């Protein structure tokens, strides 16, 4: 018996090898068997799962680079968004200006200067539009270059205009750059030079700054150009400022009359007696 088994003990390595090979060959032979197919499928699924997880960890390891890439992308996108937002804002602003301009233009009345009385102390313009055309007293007269004056008297077909270069004419003006405010008047003399009063010494007004009408005026719409600062001379409390007027009065022939800008409540508040004061 021992003799019978001795070759098995002697060649057990080869027998084991044959056994392993037989098992392997059986697996090859029955590799399409249902159970083996399921086993293979399970192995493949597990393999795919592990690979997926490993790739996820790889992604995590590369997260710093990815983060930097995303930051750069974000910066580019943010810049584009800001550009687009500013473009949209500008467009909206332009539309608003256009809309407001259209309304104003719609209310404007074109007129022709039919007569003028220019002298050293008194200057008057006569335009060919009157009450029939919707002109009222205190309407603003202007040209695209700037402010011309205000309507002081209206007849059926004509209106009289007090120009800026009139000693009684006064309008509140503001500098577009420094925001310095003052009161424009004309003291006679040269027709293209006017004066601005009540600009305090503390203001930062500089030469060549453009002055425009303010919202404080009871008749003129704000933003109408008036002129540019040509001289600034400090006095005790205020500057003495000369401006060169935007409008060339010597060649004025066509003008526009702006709609009347009168806020009764504002005028009432500015008057001596306000409604509240009248209450018992």
Partner 1 sequence: MKRNIPFLIVLLGIIAMVQVFGLSRITILGVSPDIVTIFLALMAVLIGQKAGMSFGFLAGTITGLFSGNLGLHMLARTVEGFIAGFFHIPEQSHATARQKINRTYSAIVTAGFLANAISAAGYNPLGLSPLYRIVVLGALESLFTLILAIIANWLFLRKSLSD
For residue 236, how far is the Cα from the chain centroid?
A: 40
Which residue's CB is nearer to partner 1, number 17 or number 118?
17
Question: Does residue 103 belong to the site contacting partner 1 (CB under 8 A)?
Answer: no
Stretch that binds partner 1, among 50-58, 94-102, 148-156, 228-236 (CB under 8 A): 50-58
Among 8, 11, 38, 50, binds partner 1 (CB under 8 A): 50
Question: Does residue 17 belong to the site contacting partner 1 (CB under 8 A)?
Answer: yes
CA distances from 174 to 165, 210, 259 (A): 18, 8, 21
Bin 53: left if φ > 0, else alpha if -120 < ψ < 50, else beta. Answer: alpha
Euclidean distance between CA atoms 209 and 215, whole angstroms: 18
Burial of 226 (0-12, 13-18, 19+ CB in 10 A): buried
Among 8, 27, 59, 118, binds partner 1 (CB under 8 A): 27
Question: Does residue 44 belong to the site contacting partner 1 (CB under 8 A)?
Answer: yes
Among 8, 10, 38, 43, binds partner 1 (CB under 8 A): 43
Question: Does residue 201 belong to the site contacting partner 1 (CB under 8 A)?
Answer: no
Coil, strand or helix at 154: strand
Stretch that binds partner 1, among 47-55, 106-114, 202-210, 256-264 (CB under 8 A): 47-55
Euclidean distance between CA atoms 202 and 237, whole angstroms: 9
Euclidean distance between CA atoms 129 and 139, whole angstroms: 12
**Interface contacts to partner 1, rule CB under 8 A:** 12-13, 16-17, 20-21, 23-29, 31, 36, 39-40, 43-44, 46-47, 50-51, 54
């Amino acid at each position: 018996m021992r003799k019978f088994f001795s070759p098995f003990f002697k060649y057990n390595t080869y027998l084991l090898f044959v056994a392993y090979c037989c098992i392997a060959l059986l697996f090859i032979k029955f590799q399409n068997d249902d159970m083996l197919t399921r086993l293979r499928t399970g192995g493949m699924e597990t393999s795919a799962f592990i690979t997926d997880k490993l790739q996820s960890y790889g992604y995590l390891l590369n997260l710093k680079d990815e983060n930097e890439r995303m930051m750069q992308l974000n910066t580019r996108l943010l810049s584009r968004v800001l550009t687009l937002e500013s473009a949209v804002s500008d467009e909206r602003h332009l539309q608003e200006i256009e809309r407001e301009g259209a309304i104003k233009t719609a209310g404007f009345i074109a007129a022709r200067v039919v007569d003028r009385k220019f002298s050293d102390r008194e200057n008057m313009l006569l335009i060919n539009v009157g009450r029939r055309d919707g002109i009222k007293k205190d309407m603003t007269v202007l040209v695209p270059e700037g402010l011309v004056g205000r309507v002081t008297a209206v007849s059926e077909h004509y209106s009289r205009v007090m120009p800026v270069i009139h000693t009684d004419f006064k309008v509140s003006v503001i500098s577009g750059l420094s925001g310095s405010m003052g009161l424009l008047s004309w003291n006679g003399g040269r027709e293209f030079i006017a004066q601005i009063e009540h600009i305090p010494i503390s203001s930062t007004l500089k030469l060549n700054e453009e002055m425009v009408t303010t919202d404080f005026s009871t008749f003129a719409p704000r933003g109408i150009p008036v002129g540019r600062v040509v001289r600034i001379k400090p006095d005790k409390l205020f500057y003495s400022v000369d401006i060169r007027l935007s409008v060339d009065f010597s060649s004025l022939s066509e003008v526009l009359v702006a709609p009347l800008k009168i806020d009764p409540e504002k005028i009432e508040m500015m008057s001596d007696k306000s409604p509240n004061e009248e209450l018992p």
